[in-house]
Structure 1
Amino acid sequence: MTPTAARLDSFHRRLLDWFDDHERDLPWRHDGTTAWGVFVSEVMSQQTPVARVAPIWAEWMTRWPRPADLASVPEAEAVRAWGRLGYPRRARRLHAAAVAMVEDHAGEVPDTEEELLTLPGVGQYTAAAVAAFTFGRQAVVVDTNIRRVHARWETGHALPEPSLTRREMALAAELLPSEESGLSPRYNAAVMELGALVCTARSPRCGDCPLLDDCAWIAAGRPEPHYTPKGQPWAGTKRQIRGAIVGHLREREDGDARTTTIQAVVGSVQPSPEPSRVEECLEDLIREGMVTQDGDRVTL
């Protein structure tokens, strides 16, 4: 059901008033941040807390303030500079995107969703977020935090569906302020902030929510989720092995190590790992272009 105009207006006003008082002081929100700076922050912040992102982002902006600066160095340097943000393939995608910006966009970040989506590794969320937050475009930005706020306020569900649905996208578009108002970029940031700080997945602080007295989930008595969220295991997984391998190579000045050393490094995080499993992870990393192997030496 589409919210009434009065309810929607109240939703926007309360959110934006709350955001005026509670917006976090994140470095990429500062005046003067370039489109490239916002682009990098969006890629880094996916699945990673902003507290961990901020110092690495600042280092990248000092080292590679423009797409051309990152594009001019080997991909391995980007992976080494990724630190412990996790999912290091994102570093490779950022490097590939920087190269594409130089080759196809005169070294600039494209300013429309359509063009942003042509960049390597850029999906719907990143394209919409950069278009909205950098260029003030009317874009439907949908991340996990936004989906959760929408689900609770409008549908009365504790959590959104496990995967993004067309219905959720349609609802997000309905809730967006009009293009004429010019409010949609800040609105998107406000909903995201509310989901990150107040309307959290676990232990939501409903008493601090500006939408408390108009929330369908509260009105329904805060029902439990209609499914059991599946967490992502870490210990004992291939992701853990891959992370140990890339992390060790990243910390070495020359970026390489013997396979016997890698086996020992993996053994320090996974007791008695199967050699075949380590080899399988190495083969995956080689196939993906994350590392290379020459004899018994592996290089980032």
Structure 2
Amino acid sequence: MEHILHRARGRDAVSVDPGEVVTWFDRVRRDLPWRRPEVSAWQILVSEFMLQQTPVARVEPIWLAWIARWPTPSATAAAGAADVLRAWGKLGYPRRAKRLHECATVIATHHDDVVPDDVDVLLTLPGVGSYTARAIACFAYQQSVPVVDTNVRRVVARAVHGMADAGAPSAKRDEAEVAALLPDDDSAPRFSAGLMELGALVCTARNPKCGVCPLSECAWRSAGFPPSTAPAKRVQKYAGTDRQVRGRLMDVLRASDTPVTRAQLDVAWLTDTAQRDRALHSLLVDGLVEQTQDGRFALSGEGADAAVGAPSSEARGRTQPLRSQADNTKS
């Protein structure tokens, strides 16, 4: 499959007219709150953390509540880890919340409470990868840098290379391709946002709305919309996964202001006790949950007693018995 993609990319490629993308984006852009001019770089950074693997509709209300409560990095850093995990709610992948809290602490402590504007410096922050660093530089600081997400890769694959899908990602190649499309004027950030919007609203993975596409030239359309030659992607299920079990356990912990007993956690998932133990152990390893000396469990930083915390580095990667209150009565 990879050699087919390389051969397709080697053909004479169609370019994308930045003016068409920017004009279309200015007309139809969604009024997302983190796009408003008064929003700070920190608040844009928060939105980027939340939007990773989570739909816009679920992010918007939680983002609004978050920035009202913690509008700056220092405000977020001053909050307890448990408060941050509660505010994250059911966005999923709560390790993002932990990393966001760590990121806020670094910015407040080492960057005078100001989000850096340099991509290389941004990459040193906890939880900030290549996409997020460039998104902040582009959308918060109006820099002309390539911002590549799944939607952008799909638009480029179709419009430029005539392929139904983009194949396996390659950060270096993908960023170079998008960089080559950027206009040479100050419209580059709007062009970047427009490419993302085009992939999200029109050039979608399934049922693309080609009839309303603003691009006058599209290699995929010119080629007669050839179907994808990639193997069908497996649909990720959620029901019954460790992710679901972790979420159930976190629900119990978020709902309590005090550490909870093992019995209170056990009722959250009765289907598979081994899976429940594995999920709880992984929450301890990730530093999202801690175990108190008396065997109860709490969100990070909220153990009433001295916490046992995450297993040692030697224990990471293997499931170990978790101490229950019954174990404590024997000692």
TM-score by length of 2: 0.83
Specify the alignment match of 2:318 in structure 1.
none
Deviations for 1:49-77, whole angstroms, at most 9, x for unmatched residues? 11111111110111001100010111121
Specify the alignment match of 2:297 in structure 1.
298
Specify the alignment match of 2:94 in structure 1.
88
Selected match of 2:280 from 271, 279, 282? 282
Q: Indicate the percent of aligned positions where both proteins have the same amino acid.
A: 44
Selected match of 2:228 from 200, 215, 225? 225
Between Structure 1 and Structure 2, the one with more helix by share is: 1
Distance change >3 Å, CA 260–CA 190, structure 1 → 2:
same
Higher mean C-alpha deviation, range 278-287 or range 164-173: 164-173
Q: Across the two proteins, how many residue pairs are aligned to each other?
A: 288
Structure 2: where are the runs of 5+ without partners? Answer: 1-9, 300-331
Distance change >3 Å, CA 296–CA 224, structure 1 → 2:
farther
Selected match of 1:98 from 94, 99, 104? 104
Tell me if 1:192 matches 2:191.
no
Structure 1: where are the runs of 5+ without partners? Answer: none
Aligned AA for 1:278? R
* 8 Å CA contact 1:162, 1:229 repeated in 2: no
* 8 Å CA contact 1:78, 1:95 repeated in 2: yes
Deviations for 1:1-46, whole angstroms, at most 9, x for unmatched residues? 5978xx64x6111111110110100111112111111111111111
Matches within 5 A, 1:114-129: 114-129=120-135
Partner SS, residue 191 of structure 2: helix
Offset, 1:255: 5.4
State the structure with more CA Rg: 2
Selected match of 1:22 from 7, 21, 28? 28
Separation in 2, partners of 1:225, 1:296:
53
Offset, 1:162: 3.3
Separation in 2, partners of 1:76, 1:39:
20
Distance change >3 Å, CA 12–CA 152, structure 1 → 2:
same
Separation in 2, partners of 1:241, 1:255:
21
Separation in 2, partners of 1:292, 1:111:
35
TM-score by length of 1: 0.91
Separation in 2, partners of 1:138, 1:15:
15
Specify the alignment match of 2:241 in structure 1.
237
Separation in 2, partners of 1:43, 1:191:
20
Aligned AA for 2:227? E
Structure 1 runs of 4+ off > 4 angstroms?
Answer: 1-4
Tell me if 1:154 matches 2:160.
yes
Separation in 2, partners of 1:3, 1:36:
41
